[in-house]
Amino acid sequence: MEHIDENMTDWEIFQATMVALKEGRVDPNRPVNNDPINNRFSKRVQNLAAGGLVGLGGMSVLPSIGVAAVNAVGFTSSGIAAGSLATVIQSTFYGAYTCGIFSSLQSFGATAVIAPPVALGLGAAAMVVGGSVLAVNKIKERQKEREKEREGEQGKHD
């Protein structure tokens, strides 16, 4: 593997990795622990996959949270819930003639459904796994930065 400089851009590392793969110097199925090219590229792929898990999990969970919030305010599938915040808003501001955002929220509350529990569970699990991978990688990155700082400080004192 060619010499890797810590100041190389991600694009340069990607190019060097692709050349190494083409020439058979790196096995794509087995990361090499001491190889800076493979390690930095591998971390980028891990972070990308973890971010994708968080995003996909969020896309499955967050709409259901929105539906639950609108229902909790009083916009339900059977109409405005008696004694709810939506009832107070309607009687205070609109009366019998609703329009605008109030009507939109009622339409949304009447037609939107919460995702099935399995989808919510899988979405939440994806967010937890992805977030955990991102957190662990960030912690390891900070530890390496601290070690480099300590080595630099020890070098100044020597």
- Give 28-70 pLDDT, tens digit per residue: 555 555 555 556 667 788 888 999 999 999 999 999 999 999 9
Q: Is residue 71 pLDDT above 60, yes or no? A: yes
Q: Is residue 119 pLDDT above 50, yes or no? A: yes
Q: Quick one: CA dihedral 130, 59, 48, 53, positive or negative?
A: positive
Q: What is the pTM of this model?
A: 0.62
Integer distance in angstroms from the first to the last C-alpha of the chain? 33
Q: Quick one: CA dihedral 145, 146, 150, 151, positive or negative?
A: negative
Amino acid at 125: A
What residues contact 59, with CB distance under 8 A and at least 6 apart?
Answer: 123
Mean pLDDT is lowest, of 58-67, 99-108, 128-137, 149-158, for: 149-158
Q: Which of 1-15, 82-96, 107-121, 137-151 has the highest mean pLDDT?
A: 107-121
CA distance 96 to 103: 11
Q: How many residues in the chain?
A: 158
Amino acid at 110: A
- Cβ-count burial 6-19 (b if 16+ within 10 Å, e if not): eebeeeebeebbee
Domain residue limits, the chain: 10-157
Mean pLDDT is lowest, of 16-25, 80-89, 139-148, for: 16-25
Give the mean pLDDT of 79-91. 90
Confidence of residue 17 (pLDDT cuts 50, 70, 90): confident
Tell me which residue of 16, 65, 62, 59 sits closest to 37, measured CA to CA.
16
CA distance 125 to 122: 5
